[in-house]
Amino acid sequence: MIRTSRKALLLAVAAVTLAAPLVIAQTLPRTPAPAGASVYVISPANGATVKGPQVTVLFGLKGMGVSPAGMPMGATGHHHLLIDSALPTNLATPMPANDQLVHFGKGQTEATVTLKPGKHTLQLVLGDHNHVPFDPLLASDKITITVTE
């Protein structure tokens, strides 16, 4: 009779821990937003049809100020424009920067973006000096526009 020590083999395998690379986004404290603050898209209007491909978006903010990223300056933040994109799911980390989540870290209050013909959604999120969304989240309504050639 051949006996293999399966139990010993399993224990050996269990003892091997795999050092899988972990990507942990840096968690930062969220800056409290003043009561009553809100962010909104001034233009284009929700449902508007606009000529593209260059579309100018005006950023609105009530109850707070706009300041460049990098230094905490009281109740101020900078705008982020989500293009055809959902809100970030993790609100305790700096927002990523990409074509669909554009930072305006110089304190811009408007931007001209290039959009292909068709329907697009736009939404603003205010971030603090670390690009972390405020607490509570300050995001505009998501608007939908149609861009023509």
* Minimum CB distance to Cu ion smaller for 101 or for 147: 101
103 binds Cu ion (CB under 5 A): yes
44 binds Cu ion (CB under 5 A): no
* Minimum CB distance to Cu ion smaller for 88 or for 127: 127
Span 57-86, contacts to Cu ion by CB under 5 A: none
What does the alpha-carbon distance between residue 142 and residue 40 come to, in Å, rounded to a whole number? Answer: 9
131 binds Cu ion (CB under 5 A): yes
Q: CB under 5 A: which stretch of 52-60, 84-92, 103-111, 114-122 binds Cu ion?
A: 103-111
- The torsion angle over the Cα atoms of residues 68, 71, 72 and 77, rounded to 10 degrees, is 20
Residue 38: strand pairing partners? 62
* Minimum CB distance to Cu ion smaller for 50 or for 75: 75
127 binds Cu ion (CB under 5 A): yes
DSSP per-residue codes, 2-38: ----HHHHHHHHHHPPP------PPP-PPPBPPTT-E
Q: CB under 5 A: which stretch of 6-14, 98-106, 116-124, 140-148 binds Cu ion?
A: 98-106
30 binds Cu ion (CB under 5 A): no
What does the alpha-carbon distance between residue 144 and residue 146 come to, in Å, rounded to a whole number? Answer: 7
What does the alpha-carbon distance between residue 53 and residue 149 come to, in Å, rounded to a whole number? Answer: 7
Interface contacts to Cu ion, rule CB under 5 A: 103, 105, 127, 131
